[in-house]
Amino acid sequence: MTLRRGALRSLLAVAAVGLVPAGVAAAGHATTSEAALPAGTEAAAQTAVLFDDFDYTTHTDPRLRERGWTVRSYGGGPGVGGDTWAPENVGFVDGDGGRVLRLEATTDGTEAGTAQAEILHQRKFHHGTYAARVRFTDTPVSGPDGDELVQAFFTITPLRFPDDPEYGELDFEYLPNGGWGQADSALFLTSWETYDPAGDARNESTAVPGGQAGWHDLVVQADGTSLRYHVDGRLVAEHSGDVYPDTPMAIHFNQWFIETGFLDSPVSRTWEQQVDWVYHAKDEIVSPDEVLAEVAGYRGAGVGHVDTVPAP
């Protein structure tokens, strides 16, 4: 069911506390037909949306956990190995249009002197539309330039074992200093079927060369059969159903260093990535313009957080 866009505001007060009535779809959504979804998936019949404006105080703000977010503190990949994920590198600052999420990554070129940042939501997102407004950077805010690193907005499923058939991943990954075969800046859009850490990878990847410093509206549409990646309203990649995720995923933002791409310098440097908001519409394909209208509607009504997406 699709409502007139003007009906959105009448839903906001209810959606803000997660009590949208069954049978109601958010205004402005193009509801996916049942034919466009995998067998056994019902077309969206009610509002099922995540929207977060990241209006928090610090990484210890209790509302983060209450709303399904985890600030990463555990070790492991990607990036530099060991216990290099620092919760204090996840923060919130005043930015363009209000409060924004800030991810900080610092290094002196050694594992011991490296601290990366990641924040993730719970694993409950599958078909539908994912979007975020992200600010990429091409130079560190302090220290010398030259490190190869990744600034990312992505969804992912845990890999339980090599070539796990239930694995899935959808990536926007910006490399300001190149890497992965690119000599210069590039934005990688990658859809993963699965992989083996020993080397085998099954994915489709599109590299968009060139600098991407500044704010960008990132949207990926997952309609059950294909994946369409948009940057600032422009379709830049479409990947086939062969790499379509098979199970629900978690939403992540992170910034990390490619372990083989450190600048040869002992001088400490700090990189920054920012996120203005994140949005997901369950089982609905929403155009990039409609996403921006939805976000503007929530903000205009003073709603900073909505989550009516059910946990699996």
115: which strand partners? Answer: 106
In this prediction, residue 38 has a pLDDT band, given cuts at 50, 70 and 90, of very low
Tokens of 44: 């969206």
Tokens of 200: 């085998």
Q: Could you read off the pLDDT of 54-76 as tens digits, one per residue?
A: 999 999 999 999 999 999 999 99
What's the CA gap between 28 and 55, in Å, rounded? 24
Listed in sequence order, the residues at least 6 apart from 110 whose beta carbon sits closer than 8 Å to its beta carbon are none
In this prediction, residue 46 has a pLDDT band, given cuts at 50, 70 and 90, of low
Looking at residue 97, what is its pLDDT?
Answer: 73
Q: Could you read off the pLDDT of 106-149 as tens digits, one per residue?
A: 999 999 999 999 999 999 999 999 999 999 999 999 999 999 99
* Residue 71, φ and ψ in degrees, nearest 5: -90, 120
Percent of the chain exceeding pLDDT 70 equals 85
* Residue 16, φ and ψ in degrees, nearest 5: -60, -25
Q: Where are the alpha helices (DSSP H) in the chain?
A: 8-15, 62-66, 288-300
Average pLDDT, the chain: 87
Q: Could you read off the pLDDT of 171-190 as tens digits, one per residue?
A: 999 999 999 989 999 999 99
What's the CA gap between 207 and 183, in Å, rounded? 12
Residue 166: how many CA atoms within 13 Å on its side-chain side?
Answer: 9
Q: Could you read off the pLDDT of 217-267 as tens digits, one per residue?
A: 999 999 999 999 999 999 999 999 999 999 999 999 999 999 999 999 999
Listed in sequence order, the residues at least 6 apart from 138 whose beta carbon sits closer than 8 Å to its beta carbon are 176, 185, 211, 212, 213
Looking at residue 7, what is its pLDDT?
Answer: 28
What's CA 111's distance to the chain center, in Å? 26
Listed in sequence order, the residues at least 6 apart from 98 whose beta carbon sits closer than 8 Å to its beta carbon are 53, 55, 276
Instruction: Give yes or no for residue 47 having a pLDDT over 80.
Output: no
Looking at residue 126, what is its pLDDT?
Answer: 97
In this prediction, residue 95 has a pLDDT band, given cuts at 50, 70 and 90, of confident
Sign of the torsion formed by the C-alpha atoms of 38, 40, 42 and 48: negative
Tokens of 280: 């997901």
3-class secondary-structure state, position 1: coil
Instruction: Give yes or no for residue 96 having a pLDDT over 90.
Output: no
